[in-house]
Amino acid sequence: MPATLAVLAGTRPECLKLVSLIRAGRGRADLSLVVISSGQHPSMVRRTLAQWSLAPDVELPRPPTPISLSGTVRWLRDHARAALRECGAHALVVQGDTSTAYAGALAARTAGITLIHVEAGLRTADPMRPFPEEMFRRRIGPIADWHYAPTASAADNLLREGVPDERIEITGNTGIDALRLALSLDDEGTIPADGRLLVLTLHRRENYGPRLEQVCSAVLELLSLHPDFQVVCPVHPNPTVGSRMRRMLGSHPRIRLTEPLDYVPFVRLLARAALVITDSGGIQEEAPYLGVPVVVARENTERPEAVRWGATRLVAARHADVIDAAQMLLAAPRPHAAAFNADAPFGDGLAGARIIESIGRRLAAATP
């Protein structure tokens, strides 16, 4: 009798980082895989999974609006717990640091099933930054049963927090699996841009308000300093972000604001960029494999491997700091793209298959 493994996702990044795991799990006779959409961003989950010919098996109701962050977590927890019981799950996979991941972790604990954390062990020096992601990661860590750490530094963080070594495996980052898959596909069309391309993405809660405006003003100055630059900016659906970005950048003739792009076209866009300015975690992971220099507009990062790679600059979201970092990177030679191998910053792009193999083995040993 196969063990039932539930996989919970509620956002686009979670889906991308679970695609390779889901694909590997679908082909195993010892696992019955159930993909649950938490209801956090249901249309985005469907759209993202559909790029890989996948779909949720279960869709939970979307949280009502308006609702507080704590209210969202309670809603997701209660509905996820009911879904886990209904499908008879033996274990639940949560990924990363979202409200869905934390609520799913709480649901697994109260349902009395095994909790599996993918992308475990990421930490910054500040337990409240980025908020709420760092808080969610730190709260998932002590209650997870099995921890799949993307890097050695993430595993070390878990060990320092008292997680037993036998519960941790270093697998590489599953986001790089999605990148490797995307680069193996035919180009599905990329937004045209004349001259050199600057890609801008902003969405972190820590950059809401004046900090976002500081970054946008830096982008406008870079356009004045580099007349050959074109900017493409996929605007995050959060209206707190989108309204300010449209107000500050929407009228410039060399800035193109778009809806969020599907993953494969977005990867192709990144690969063409002369520079990326972002507060995204995923782009920090992808950039070394694309050979793209990146300015990360954040106070800190849970991905020190990206900074050690050398072509990522971590700076505060202040106008002058963003300009200085961008100019430094533009003056340097374009970095070489990292190979998909064990020496690369975030692994070889085969993490999902490793994780599923480990889960299958562990569940077989634990399930009567």
Find the Cα–Cα–Cα–Cα dihedral 308, 313, 314, 315, rounded to 10°. Answer: 150
- Predicted confidence at residue 236, as pLDDT, reads 77
Same domain, 162 and 15: yes
Instruction: Pull the structure tokens for residue 38.
Output: 């938490």
Query: 306 and 202 in one domain?
Result: yes
For residues 284 and 173, give the distance between their C-alpha atoms in angstroms, rounded to a whole number.
Answer: 12
Question: Would residue 22 count as lying in a domain?
Answer: yes
Same domain, 149 and 232: no
Do 252 and 301 have their domain in common? yes
**pLDDT computed for residue 27 by the predictor:** 83
pLDDT of 193: 61
355 within a domain of the structure (yes/no)? yes
Helices (H) then strands (E): counts for the chain: 14, 13
Domain for residue 202, yes or no? yes
Q: What is the pLDDT of residue 66?
A: 86
Longest dimension (CA), the chain: 67
Measuring CA to CA, which residue among 104, 124, 70, 156 is closest to residue 279? 124
Nearest to 191 by CA among 249, 266, 131, 247: 266
Do 228 and 268 fall into the same domain?
yes
Q: Enumerate the active-site residues.
A: 97, 119, 133, 203, 205, 236
> Is 189 a member of any domain?
no
**pLDDT 10s digits, 352-362:** 999 999 999 99
Distance CA 83, CA 275 (A): 43
Look at residue 191 in the predicted model and tell me its pLDDT. Answer: 66
With respect to residue 180, please indicate whether it lies within any of the assigned structural domains: no
Question: pLDDT, tens digit, for every residue of 35-50?
Answer: 999 999 899 999 999 9
d(CA 47, CA 263): 10
pLDDT at 190: 62
In this structure, are 299 and 156 located in the same domain?
no
Burial (Cβ within 10 Å: 0-12, 13-18, ≥19) of residue 125: exposed
Kindly state whether residue 177 falls inside one of the protein's structural domains.
Answer: no
The C-alpha atoms of residue 210 and residue 224 are separated, in whole angstroms, by 21
Sites in the chain below the pLDDT cut of 70: 187-194, 207, 240, 367-368
Confirm whether 33 is domain-assigned: yes
Contacts by 67-73, CB closer than 8 A, 24 or more apart: 69/99, 69/132, 72/40, 72/99, 72/103, 73/99, 73/102, 73/103, 73/106
Q: What is the per-residue pLDDT across 136-193, written as a single tens digit (0 to 9) for each?
A: 999 999 999 999 999 999 999 999 999 999 999 999 999 999 999 999 887 656 666 6
The domain containing residue 60 runs over which residues? Answer: 3-172+349-366
Residue 101 near residue 18, CB atoms below 8 Å: no
Which structure tokens are listed for 347? 């692994």
Quote the pLDDT of residue 297: 94
Per-residue pLDDT at 209: 77
* Residue at 318: amino acid letter: R
pLDDT at position 308: 92
Q: Are 122 and 148 in contact (CB under 8 A)?
A: no
Whether 89 is covered by a domain: the verdict is yes
For residue 98, how many C-alpha atoms fall within 13 Å in the half-sphere facing its CB?
21
The DSSP H or E segment spanning 279 is none
Residue 229 and residue 98 share a domain:
no
Query: Are 36 and 76 in a shared domain?
Result: yes
Question: Which CATH number goes with the domain that contains 204?
Answer: 3.40.50.2000
Is 251 found in the same domain as 139? Answer: no
Same domain, 267 and 215: yes
State whether 9 and 121 are in the same domain: yes
**Predicted TM-score (pTM) of this structure:** 0.92
Q: Residue 183's CB: how many other CB atoms inside 10 A?
A: 18
**Do 157 and 20 have their domain in common?**
yes
Q: Give the chain's domain count.
A: 2
- At 256 the pLDDT is 94
pLDDT at 189 (0 to 100): 60
